Homo-oligomer: A and B are copies of this chain.
Amino acid sequence: MFETAELGREISKAEFEGLVPEIRARLLTAQRALRATSHSVILIISGVEGAGKSGVVNRLHEWLDVRGIETTAFWNESDEENERPRYWRFWRRLPPRGAIGMFFGSWYTKPIVDRAFAKKSDATFEREMQRIVSLEQMLVQDGAVVLKFWFHLPKREQARRLKEKEKRSRKNWAFIPDAADFAKRYDRFARISERAIRSTDTAAAPWHIIEASDARYRDLTAGQILADVLENLGSSDTEHAATNAARESSGDSPAPSVMATIDLDSSVDRAEYDERMPRLQAKLGGLTWKAWNEKRSTVIIFEGSDAAGKGGAIRRLIAPIDARLFRTISVAAPTADERARHYLWRFWRNLPRAGTITIYDRSWYGRVLVERVEGFATDAEWRRAYREINEFEEQLVGHGVILVKFWLHIDPDEQLRRFREREQIEWKKHKITDEDWRNREKGQAYESAIHDMIAHTSTDIAPWHLVPARDKRWARLEVVQTVVKVLKQALK
């Protein structure tokens, strides 16, 4: 999830100064239009300590017309607040229709902090997240746009900032409560925050994770998402405008996308491959019997670019596994039986029995990839699918299923080379169709879809493994090795 906000995106001072006049003009125009509507905007500013949340708030104040914003920093509770149910402090600050309420801190803060310091149980935390989902849905149904920003910093960057701050001014630093404590607990916070985001990333009120290492990129991205949302709101005036608007925004999309982090030059020579692969496969064979004995089942899914070599990787993976222990499911267009039910039905029904393995060649992620890009799923359908898929995978993992997700990646040039090769070689001709060529033309749309998929569904409990696949040997080794590693960790 957060890997999509660790890409080192930045904007130069010159570029920033060139872009600011436009974003300011857009924001002011859209804010004026907002006044005439029956919508309010609730802007939630959250994220890791040190990411510069107050910087964002100040910047947005600079860019917007302050007469239409009410900003509240939810810090220590007053006695007035303590005496009422917990949400009272938020209710009293709800912006009226036509205005923007900027919430610096929000209903997310306390549950995350309480859980991080283990003051509340896991179940209570989950219950709290569900309460938030209800609250946000209720507000959105009433016409509010709930816009949620999560500003992210990589661990090392946070540490660097805290240190520097400390150096600059021991005095100021001392006033910021618990900041050092927070830093020490980075990993725990990251895990719990991720879970909060996953549980509340709804179609009605989706999260926007924004990379905060570069302040200019951070502020501009926040401003752009806000402008997108406000503009979209003005243009439509249906009952669901708020929902649609909230769903809009391309803020967390590419340039560069998370795929840029995949090192496609990774390769391994034949000698090394020939030496390592048999050893890995032998280990894998043993581990699958171990899983059988422990009655732990495994689900492995393969997604990837066309011609990235999923089939070849799957063949190497199953080679050492006893045929009684695995099934491979090739996911193509749904059958009549499958179309007659919910899209997840076909995947539920093929879940493995205890101790066995199901390998899906393409998977439920089709909903947010091909179905999104080709328009087979409506906008509302694929957007809410992120949460549906996360909940599905939670149920798998909660039941003890070992889940491994692979994305096999090649670049467009390599793909073209392979397509041409397939056309040349007689026994590979059947593997290339007109559809493949058509898909290729939608490269940018697919790139966005993949990036968003990883942003929303690469989770602590079910991370994506991004595999560079220009070198087939490298990809196959990495696939087998990853499964070996995951099984080893999961089994006793």
Contact = CB atoms under 8 A, between A and B. Distances in A.
A341 B87 contact: no
Given A92-B348, A391-B134, A340 B98 contact: yes
Query: How many copies of this chain does the complex contain?
Result: 2
Interface string A52-93: 000000000000000000000000000010111111100110
B348 A91 contact: yes
Given A83-B295, A123-B121, A388-B138, A348 B88 contact: yes
Contacts of A342: 94, 138-139, 142, 144
Contact of A351 (B40, B85, B94, B351): B85
Contact of A83 (B82, B94, B353): B353
Contacts of A87: 348, 395
A16 interface: no
Contacts of A139: 342
Contacts of A295: 83
A141 interface: yes
A354 interface: yes
A374 to B, nearest CB: 19
Contacts of A80: 353
A353 B391 contact: no
Contacts of A127: 123, 126-127, 130
Interface stretch (A167-175, A276-284, A396-404): A396-404
A181 interface: no
Nearest to A337: B96
A297 interface: yes
Given A86-B395, A351-B85, A141 B384 contact: yes
A32 interface: no
A97 B340 contact: yes
Given A141-B384, A142-B342, A341-B97, A92 B349 contact: yes
A131 interface: yes
A124 interface: yes
A309 to B, nearest CB: 31
A345 interface: yes
A98 B341 CA distance: 10
Nearest to A121: B123
A290 to B, nearest CB: 17
A490 to B, nearest CB: 16
Contacts of A40: 340-341
Interface centre among A82, A295, A341, A351 (most CB of B within 10 A): A341
Contacts of A124: 123
B91 A349 contact: yes
Interface centre among A295, A342, A348 (most CB of B within 10 A): A342
Interface of A: 40, 80, 82-88, 91-92, 94, 96-98, 121, 123-124, 126-127, 130-131, 133-134, 138-139, 141-142, 144, 295, 297, 337, 340-345, 348-349, 351, 353-354, 381, 384, 387-388, 391, 395-396, 398-399, 401
Given A85-B351, A87-B395, 15 more contacts: A83-B295, A83-B354, A91-B345, A91-B348, A94-B342, A94-B345, A96-B341, A121-B123, A126-B127, A126-B130, A127-B130, A134-B391, A141-B381, A141-B384, A144-B342
Q: Which 7 A-B pairs give the minimum distances between C-beta atoms?
A: A123-B123, A96-B340, A83-B354, A91-B348, A85-B399, A130-B130, A85-B395
